[in-house]
Amino acid sequence: MGNMDKETQQFYANSLFPREMQSLTAICDTFLPSITVSSSTKVDENVATFFQASASMASTPECVGGLFCERVKHPRKWLMRVTLWFLSTSIGSLILCGRFCLSTNFPYVHSFPQLSQHQREAILLSWSLSYFHLLRTFYNAIKIFILFVFFTQVDEKNENLSWKAIGYSGPDPKFKTQTKQTRKLKQSEGEREEEIQENVDEEMLYGSLYKGLISMQLPIDRAANSLREVGFPVSIRRKNVNAASSISNPSFVVKCDAVVVGSGSGGGVIAGVLAKAGYKVLVLEKGNYCARTNLSLLEGPTLDQMYLSGGLLVTEDAGMVLLAGSTVGGGSTINWSASIQTPQHVVNDWSDRLELELFESKLYTDAIDVVCEKMGVQLEVVEEGFNNAVLRRGCEELGYPVQNIPRNSPPDHYCGWCCFGCKDGRKKGTSETWLVDLVNSGNGAILPGCEAIKVLYKRKKGRDRNRASGVAFEFDYKGVKDICIVESKVTIVACGALSTPPLLKRSGLKNANIGKNLHLHPVTMAWGYFPDTPNGWPEKEKKSYEGGILTAMSIVAANFDKSGYGALIQTPSLHPGMFSSLVPWTSGEDMKVQMCKFARTAHIFALARDKGSGIVNSPNSISYRINATDEENLQGGLEKMLRILAAAGAEEIGTHHPKGKKLNVKHVSAVEFERFVKEESSRPLRDLSTLLCSAHQMGSCRMGIDPKTSVVNQMGETWEVEGLYVADTSVFPTALGVNPMVTVQAIAYCTAQSVLEVLRRKRVGTDCLLQQE
């Protein structure tokens, strides 16, 4: 069924050369050195163990090397390897590190690994603010990899040596108990199969979609039979089993009414609507299916298995971390539940300025209502988590507007692990809603682990443009790539804003707008430390990583009533890996001190509706740089966030700028506070110094009324190829400015109505031909 085995942690082969590893190990131990704890100092045993452990003692360099070699596909990967090699030499170190490598003793110039901890730390700090942007790029990338790996790698007990010291529980403790019980049921199933079949809920064991999943990890004839059993005609084409499969020599061809590439908030909606209407629908999903009981809720393994590029995707200059889902259900499986309707000022912009009538139509208004009802969107929250409570209190103290965020989860859904999949199915992503409709209709099937490599099309006589005829897709079977063909009446591409443009380009589409106009909703963060004192607030038992991820937001810096371009203030989900990757590093000791405050450090972020845009060059090459207006909006958000954290009662506040300046709010004057806020919120954000994030990508195949400036029309159909539709966030005409799930589902629902009309016409045409015969 394509499930992810929760007990499996992927290990990757490290093929770095010894010289490269020598430099990498030295850098790892610079970021995370072994620090001696004085025997006279009273320190918790777990904290002492954490401080005394270095990155190399935890085998972090080998893990980083493996990930780097096998998972990272960044276009500048070669440059990082060259840099590591240079650092292993005296001359290379002199070029990259300057005066820090010089000595009054022979041999006078030392390589990076030969330097002292103090010298190496000074070098890393110089790189973080270097005038040479390639050094800043190298610093950002290597910092992310090393700190993320150290704080997420787990042993055979699924534990990390730092977690107890920093107050992190690992996976949700309630989920640990639940999965132990489920594991016993699965073991019992093998021992007492007939009895268990009567008493055990198969959906609980295998997930809500288990009846509709077709595994391609089977011999071709068995996979073909599985498709035939659910009503799809399949013909096995490849006669020579020894020949490699290709588009011209596929293993088999399957026929359907509609093929949908991607199963997220766009593809999942269309697939469900079409299948429920009686059409045969095949869904291709590059990621795997992770049933509730097969989730690990471990940060490292989950990002590796459920996120695009293993969660290690950054822009070309490594200035922004990009997070996108790559699993059945797409982003809706791992997002933070926010279900905000398309803001009215955005609707007005799209319908008036861009003349897109769809967005002022009753169809779109009804679509919003339909998708919100399907997801069970509601506003209430029973208990607020740490970060959101801080945001709400700070806003209330200052008189800033603050409001509840609509969510596709119930009021009592107090879960901080939804970014790793929903453990109980109460977050209503597409794998709990629209894809369930697909499966229950009996008209659809989902193929996990299958990546579309080309959209197929042909031109009929008398037509002025090509017509889509299906998709070629590939999958791994026993370590070998296999290729099959789907022949369909309509083709829907919904791979997401980062993956749809490369697929269209590989397929031969020439529209110059494909891949351009990419918006990323850039995010910058501020933090506040709240000690767990007996009578402190938030309550002593509350942790920064627990509770609903998004329940409160402020539009104080959003400019909704003016230009519509500003910064929305919300809260993130930061578990130890992402937390450590983003916070400033000023020394190995300071990093460990910061991490010991992890569980009581609140983060809030400013999300810009960006006017600037980037380009998707390839799946792993994304060019993007925020423009001056977006920078100003984020700086305005930063200023508000620092005030909010202080007003909420934080003891210390700071930002993610690499200088790592922090302010003890309790011991400064009002003048000193104002100076700090002004200085920290006015620091540049476009110079690669402060690491930015993006969890929303959109606009790279935008909708419009003119093929000269857009990729698809208002029905979602591409201008170039008839019968080829795009249904994901890439069709957004501009940046949205709020969490996009409701908007993309509503657009996809509207596109589904257009596709239904085409399929009805085809069905009527076929019926007429049959009657004539």
Query: Which residues are the active-site residues?
Result: 696
Output the furthest CA–CA distance in the chain (Å, rounded).
Answer: 97
Alpha helices in 153-266 (DSSP H): 163-166, 173-191, 193-199, 202-206, 220-229
Contact between 702 and 517 (Cβ < 8 Å): yes
Of 393, 368, 372, the closest CA to residue 647 belongs to 393
The three-class DSSP label of residue 120 is helix
Cα Rg, the chain, nearest whole Å: 27
Paired strand residues for 475: 482
* Residue carrying the six token digits 């010291």: 165
486: phi then psi, degrees, rounded to nearest 5? -110, 125
Whether the link from the prior residue into 707 is cis, omega within 30° of 0, is no
Residues 6 or more apart whose CB falls under 8 angstroms from that of 635 comprise 681, 682, 683, 685
- Dist CA 19 CA 24 (whole Å): 9
Residues in the chain: 773
324: part of which helix (H) or strand (E)? none
Of 46, 40, 42, the closest CA to residue 592 belongs to 46
Which residue spans within 380-449 are E strands per DSSP? 403-404, 444-448
Cα 196 → chain centroid: 37
Q: Is 177 left (phi over 0), alpha (psi -120 to 50) or beta?
A: alpha
Whether the link from the prior residue into 538 is cis, omega within 30° of 0, is yes
How many CB atoms sit inside 10 A of residue 536's CB? 14
- Dist CA 2 CA 736 (whole Å): 34
Contact between 697 and 498 (Cβ < 8 Å): yes
Check residue 342 and report its DSSP letter: P
How many CB atoms sit inside 10 A of residue 708's CB? 9
